[in-house]
Amino acid sequence: MNILDKIVIDKRKEVDLKKRLIPVSQLEASVLFERPCNSLATLLKTSKTGIIAEHKRRSPSKSVINQKVSVAEVAEGYSNAGVCGMSVLTDGKYFGGSLDDLLLARASVNTPLLRKEFIIDEYQLIEAKAHGADVILLIAAILNRNEISTLSKLAKDLGLDVLLEVHNEEELHKSIMPTLDMLGVNNRNLKTFDVTIETSKKLSALIPDEFVKVSESGISAIEPIKELQEYGYQGFLIGENFMKTENPGQSAYEFIKALEK
C-alpha cells in the first residue's frame, strides 16, 4: 500500500464523518456559494508565465515545509507577485491544511483558488464551492472513469474549473473527457517519489489541444518552464520552492520577474 492508498482510506472516513456533521443544505447556504468563480484556465491561456503558486505547510515526503507564515500573508504575497492562481492544501492529516485556509485565502485575494485535495465524493465539491474555491483537482490515480465523469460534471454545474491530474499514459487515456478544463501532469512517481520533467514532455503530445496543459511537481527553476513551454504547457504548479522560504510571496515575485525576462 503506497501513501496515496493510505490517504484515500483516511479521506473516506473523514468525508463520511463530515457528511453527518454538516449537511449539504448548510454548505449551500454559505454566502460564498452563489459567488461567480474566476476561471484559472482562461487566465493561463493568456499568461506569459502561468504560475500557480501553492500554500503548503508540510507533506508526507518533506515533513515540515513552512509553519510560520499565515495563509493571508501568503495569498496577498502571491497575488502581488502576479501569479495566475493559488493552490491551497486543505488536507489536515498529511499536509496540515484545512478548509479554513481556503476561506482565509478567499477573504484576502481575488486570485483564482484551487482546492488541492484528494477528492473522492461529490460532497467535497459542494464544500469547495462553499469555501470560495474557483477550481478543483481530480486525481486520476484514485478515481475510475465514471467517477471522473460524475465529479467533473458536477464541478461544471457549480461553475468550478476542473484540473485533472495524471502521472502516466494509462491514467491520461482513461481521463480525457469534455468536462475537464486543464490536464495536469504530475512529474512525481508515486511509487519511488522520483521527480523528472521528462514525464511532462513525454505526455504532452497525447494531451488534446482543447485542454490547458499544466505541469506539476519538481519545478524550481526558470529553465524547466522555458523547456516545457515549448511542449505546449501554459500552467506550472509550484509548491515547495516558494513555501520553503521565509517570504513565499517575495520569492514568487522574484521568480516571475526572472521568468518574464
| Residue 202 falls in the annotated catalytic set | no
Joined grid coordinates for residue 197:
520533467
Joined grid coordinates for residue 191:
511509487
Place of cell 484556465: 41
| Residue 200 falls in the annotated catalytic set | no
Residue in 117, 127, 165, 240 annotated catalytic = 165
| Residue 217 falls in the annotated catalytic set | yes
Which residues are within 8 A (CB) of 3 and not within 5 positions of it... i.e. 6 or more apart?
A: 60, 61, 94, 190
Cα separation, 97 vs 89, in Å, equals 5
Residue in 11, 56, 129, 201 annotated catalytic = 56
Q: Which amino acid is at 102?
A: L
| Residue 168 falls in the annotated catalytic set | no
- Helix axis angle, 71-81 to 99-108, nearest 10°: 50
| Residue 170 falls in the annotated catalytic set | no
Cα separation, 140 vs 155, in Å, equals 16
Residue in 186, 187, 215, 251 annotated catalytic = 186
Which residues are within 8 A (CB) of 238 and not within 5 positions of it... i.e. 6 or more apart?
A: 51, 52, 53, 54, 219, 220, 252, 255
Residue in 116, 129, 201, 213 annotated catalytic = 116
Joined grid coordinates for residue 126:
459542494
Joined grid coordinates for residue 29:
447556504
Joined grid coordinates for residue 176:
480525457
Residue in 14, 216, 240, 251 annotated catalytic = 216
Q: Assign 155 to helix, strand or coil.
A: helix
Which residues are within 8 A (CB) of 166 and not within 5 positions of it... i.e. 6 or more apart?
A: 140, 141, 172, 175, 183, 184, 185, 186, 203
| Residue 54 falls in the annotated catalytic set | yes
Residue in 54, 117, 127, 171 annotated catalytic = 54
Nearest 5°: phi and psi at 83?
-70, 155
Q: How many residues does the chain have?
A: 261
| Residue 241 falls in the annotated catalytic set | no
Catalytic residue numbers read 54, 56, 116, 165, 186, 216-217
